[in-house]
Amino acid sequence: MFLRLIADSFGRRAQRKLLTGAALALGMTVATAALSVSLDVGDRLGREFRSLGANLVVTPQADSLPLEIAGIDYRPANAGAYLPEADVHKIKTIFWHNNIMGFAPVLEVPVEAWSQASKTWLTPAVAGQAMLIGTWAEHSVPLADGGQFVTGVEKTNPWWHVDGKWFAENSEECVVGALFAQKNGIKPGDELHVSAGNHAYWKTLKVMGVLSSGGSEDEAVIAPLEISQELAQKQGQYRQMYVSALTKPEDNFGRRNPEGMTPAELERWSCTPYVSSIAYQIKQVLPGADVRVIRRIAEGEGAILVRVRLLFWLVTAATLLAAALAIGASSAASVIERRTEIALMKALGAGSGTVGFLLAAEQLLLAVVGGGLGYALGILLARVVGERIFGAAPHPSLLVFASILGLAAIITLLGSAIPLRRAARYEPAPILRGE
């Protein structure tokens, strides 16, 4: 009988129910789109932010005292200790190994260079010598599960552009910076002879491309890591390594020093992909290494992500408030129209609780219908927003669907709370007498 009363009441006054459902569906559409995109935007923006470059740098712990200004390391490139290249693969064994998007060890060596094409010594680029940067371009790293992870400067410095192609691993090839090539008339296909200050030992490198980086690398020679190791006589070692990792913006808890945490706090901190917790884990698997966060990149990513999410939720909150007001106005009008019906139910023995429960059940049924319609429309809106702004649409989620239905029920009950309370307090006698 109770369900029959609800169904009968729900079917009457269709225009008013339609307007209320439309307002609710509009609010749930925006909420669905915001929630779907917000849950997906972290990883999407994180991958986009990786175009800003690496956000972690690994250096020897036994090195000289750091000299860092605005996130830039000003220590001499060839001073201090070195780290073993054989340990680099351990980065992919940390808890957040799937968040490590790329890494590239670097060893810089001052060299003297001779161009076979121009038959002359090349114009010095830095402090009377050219700088040869040894690194990985597309290096395959073995993983513990038997797979391979391909990484290099193309992942840690994705904005670098090479006119030509990168050098091959384990080859005597190189790329030269754009300014270096311009000063010395170097072009792809030329040969470059380099020596690390010892003219008795030369390496002949074939130029494969010209690099445009917008930084000091434009005046350098970039070659495989093995070449710089041979020239510097530091076989199997590197000076520093840049790491690009997907991270979560740091909050006050994320910025805490792990040494002062309790075991429970340390576990929670380690199980959250803060840039500092990932740095801490890398330091644990690389003996003798010091892992530092490049703050200007990490903090910039966090600030942008927080602002994007805040914008989503402000728009959602405004829409839900409008939906709640619309539902409240519609519910108040409906209660006034049904005064006689409510009074008659009370005269026949229905208590205030029964009347209130009946009206609330009608509103909840409306919330389910409006919430379901809003979720369907919100998924379409999320796809449009995701594809237009982030290049990929978020996938439908049962968690989002359940959250939207719950939110629709809450908004509906809150919006109609005052009219329902007034209806439950109606006295039947004055109403039935026409007063």
Same domain, 371 and 424: yes
Least confident span in 63-72, 168-177, 346-355, 421-430: 63-72
> Residue 170 gets which letter from DSSP?
T
Beta bridge partners of residue 150, listed in sequence order? 140
How much is the pLDDT for 336?
A: 66
Residue at a domain's end among 266, 293, 320: 293
Same domain, 69 and 9: no
How much is the pLDDT for 207?
A: 92
How much is the pLDDT for 127?
A: 35
Beta-carbon contacts of 128 under 8 Å, excluding residues fewer than 6 positions away, are: none
Same domain, 275 and 342: no
> Residue 75 gets which letter from DSSP?
S
Strands (E), 43-99: 56-60, 68-69, 72-73, 83-84
Same domain, 109 and 192: yes
Q: Which amino acid belongs to residue 358?
A: L
Express as a percent the part of the chain with pLDDT over 70. 70
Question: Does position 218 have pLDDT exceeding 60, yes or no?
Answer: yes
Same domain, 279 and 376: no
The model's pLDDT over 277-328, given as tens digits with 9 standing for 90+, comes to: 999 999 999 988 999 887 655 555 556 666 777 777 787 787 778 777 777 7
Q: For residue 289, give Cα distances in angstroms to 59, 60, 83, 93, 332.
A: 6, 5, 7, 16, 68
Question: Does position 1 have pLDDT exceeding 50, yes or no?
Answer: no
Distance CA 7, CA 67 (A): 74
Number of domains in the chain: 2
Distance CA 210, CA 93 (A): 35
- Residue bearing the bigger pLDDT, 46 or 288: 288
Q: What is the mean pLDDT of the chain?
A: 77
Same domain, 74 and 148: yes
Least confident span in 43-57, 140-154, 207-221, 361-375: 43-57
Beta-carbon contacts of 397 under 8 Å, excluding residues fewer than 6 positions away, are: 36, 39
Same domain, 311 and 247: no
Q: Which pLDDT band holds residue 229 (cuts at 50, 70, 90)?
A: very high
- Residue bearing the bigger pLDDT, 223 or 345: 223
How much is the pLDDT for 174?
A: 93
- Per-residue pLDDT averaged across 243-256, rounded? 80
Question: Does position 206 have pLDDT exceeding 80, yes or no?
Answer: yes
Same domain, 183 and 264: yes
Residue at a domain's end among 260, 293, 326: 293
The model's pLDDT over 389-424, given as tens digits with 9 standing for 90+, comes to: 666 667 777 888 888 888 888 888 787 777 777 666
Same domain, 127 and 235: yes
- The residue segments making up the domain with residue 412 are 2-46+302-432
Question: Does position 13 have pLDDT exceeding 50, yes or no?
Answer: yes
How much is the pLDDT for 357?
A: 65
pTM to 2 decimal places: 0.64
Distance CA 425, CA 180 (A): 86
Q: Which pLDDT band holds residue 124 (cuts at 50, 70, 90)?
A: very low
- Per-residue pLDDT averaged across 259-284, rounded? 88
Same domain, 211 and 258: yes
Helix (H) or strand (E) holding 146: none
Q: Which pLDDT band holds residue 78 (cuts at 50, 70, 90)?
A: very low
Q: At what angle do helices 2-11 and 352-385 cross, to 10 degrees?
A: 60
- Residue bearing the bigger pLDDT, 94 or 68: 94
The model's pLDDT over 136-182, given as tens digits with 9 standing for 90+, comes to: 998 999 888 888 999 999 888 888 899 999 999 889 999 999 998 88
Same domain, 308 and 289: no
Distance CA 231, CA 109 (A): 7
How much is the pLDDT for 433?
A: 54
- Per-residue pLDDT averaged across 69-91, rounded? 71
Same domain, 28 and 127: no
Question: Does position 67 have pLDDT exceeding 80, yes or no?
Answer: no
How much is the pLDDT for 51?
A: 55
How much is the pLDDT for 126?
A: 36
Question: Does position 426 have pLDDT exceeding 70, yes or no?
Answer: no
Distance CA 330, CA 370 (A): 14
Residue at a domain's end among 293, 317, 332: 293
- Residue bearing the bigger pLDDT, 227 or 405: 227
Q: At what angle do helices 417-424 and 295-337 cross, to 10 degrees?
A: 30
In SS3 terms, the chain reads as: CHHHHHHHHHHCCHHHHHHHHHHHHHHHHHHHHHHHHHHHHHHHHHHHHHHHCCCEEEEECCCCCCCEECCEECCCCCCCCCEEHHHHHHHHHCCCHHHEEEEEEEEEEEEEEEECCCCEECCCCECCEEEEEEECCCEEEECCCCCEEEECHHHHCCCCEEEECCCCCCCCEEEEEHHHHHHHCCCCCCEEEEECCCCCCCEEEEEEEEEECCCHHHHEEEEEHHHHHHHHCCCCEECEEEEEECCECCCCCCCCCHHHCCHHHHHHHHCCCEHHHHHHHHHHHCCCEEEEECHHHHHHHHHHHHHHHHHHHHHHHHHHHHHHHHHHHHHHHHHHHCHHHHHHHHHCCCCHHHHHHHHHHHHHHHHHHHHHHHHHHHHHHHHHHHHHHHCCCCCCCHHHHHHHHHHHHHHHHHHCHHHHHHHHCCCHHHHHCCC
